[in-house]
Amino acid sequence: MAGISDKKKKQKTKDGPELRPENLPDNLRTQHTHMTCGEHMNYHTNTRTSATTYMALGVDNSWSQREFEAQFRVEGIRWSTPLDDNGCRTDRSSIEFDLIGIDPAIANAFRRILISDLPTMAVEHVFIINNTSVMNDDVLAHRLGLVPLNLDPDLFQDKAEGEAASEMNTVVFKLVMACEPNADKPISVMSKELRWLPKGSQLPQETECEFVSSQEELLPHPAAPVHNDILLLKLGAGQEIELEAHAVRGVGRDHAKWSPVSTAWYRLHPEIVFTKPVTGTAAEELAAACPEIFSVVDGQTVAAAARGNELHLEKVRRLAADERWAGRLELRKRKDHFVFTVDSTGALPPQTLFTRAIDVLAEKADRLLQRL
């Protein structure tokens, strides 16, 4: 046993310091960190997370908390902020940022949480009092459910099945519109016509909704649709619509109307790489084939940054497969660098949505640890 122990000690000393993936040979390191866009398919798309992937080379590929903390960062926050009805900038917009140093599974977890696990308020119950329009009641109710509301879901409780509606779990809106019998053309009923009833339903017996106190004391601002210009329906001459719409809290996994984002998606950070210099006639031909990206400096081809020139990257991918530049030009995408876009419906600002997505992911991780 002593001989075996001494042998292990000698082997550990002989091996020297622990090798990590950055110590891999150039070709394997590129396959580990990047995928390559080929003519007909992408190569090296898998993310190698097993600790023993490079064991034969003496490289430890296990996850490292220290390396994660050193490499992970959020950069380049960019806003796409629309104008409100008064021409002022709003904070309910789209945001784009770079997530660097994380696994694709984590980036995808954020995307899924943003779409289906963050609660919002949306119309769930519609009580039709009178509807003489051409639109069916169920279609109108569905359209009302898709109208984003400027309500913070953290101010409300989930409404359990069979639970009575109250000021803590329900927000009530009223819609009353009529078109004059002698009108020359139909009128449009827009989302701005939804009127908030802070004291609750005006039909408590029919809707089983009674408030103990007014919601004016609970909400920091009046409840209303995020956008005033959403067309709900049209009324012809002599037609009327009267209804109550009750909004409750829910999540996108139950119905898309509760999803707080119109889209949440990511793409990999692209890179244009010369594996060998392109000079002479080949350099001139490449610059002529795609002048938006390539130029010739001192007789050698140089490339502009791939980011910001995404519309031309498909052309670069095709050129990389051309026999004149094959083996010298590659379009790569970094596996741990994600360009993330969060496009809010307007119910909540996108930066708030992402921070809440982080909290939800942390809660899921805690629940998993408790079950182990």
Give residue-wise pLDDT tens across range 70-106: 999 999 888 876 555 555 545 568 899 999 999 999 9
What is the model's pLDDT at position 11? Answer: 38
124 and 250 within one domain: yes
Give residue-wise pLDDT tens across range 255-293: 999 999 999 999 999 999 999 999 999 999 999 999 999
179 and 241 within one domain: yes
238 and 150 within one domain: yes
Task: Evaluate if residue 364 carries a pLDDT over 70.
Answer: yes
309 and 359 within one domain: no
143 and 93 within one domain: no
Q: Are 151 and 253 in contact (CB under 8 A)?
A: no
Task: Evaluate if residue 352 carries a pLDDT over 70.
Answer: yes
What's the whole-number average pLDDT of the chain?
Answer: 91
182 and 203 within one domain: yes
300 and 234 within one domain: no
Q: Find the distance separating the first CA and the last CA of the chain, reported in whole Å.
A: 36
Give residue-wise pLDDT tens across range 172-218: 999 999 999 999 999 999 999 999 999 999 999 999 999 999 999 89
SS3 210: coil
- Burial annotation 299-320 (CB, 10 A radius, 16+ → b, else e): eebebeebeebeebbeebbebb
Q: Is residue 2 part of a domain?
A: no
107 and 150 within one domain: no
Query: Which pTM was predicted?
Result: 0.86
Of 92, 133, 135, the C-alpha closest to 350 is 92
Quote the number of domains for the chain.
Answer: 3
Of 170, 166, 175, 159, the C-alpha closest to 127 is 175
281 and 225 within one domain: no
Distance (Å, whole) CA 83 – CA 227: 11
What is the model's pLDDT at position 76? Answer: 84
Q: Which domain holds residue 239?
A: 120-258
Q: Is residue 3 part of a domain?
A: no
DSSP result, 18-66: PB-GGGS-HHHHHHHHEEEE-SSSEES-S----TTTTGGGTB-----HH
177 and 54 within one domain: no
Distance (Å, whole) CA 333 – CA 250: 37
Task: Evaluate if residue 7 carries a pLDDT over 50.
Answer: no
Half-sphere exposure of 66 (CA within 13 A, CB side): 2
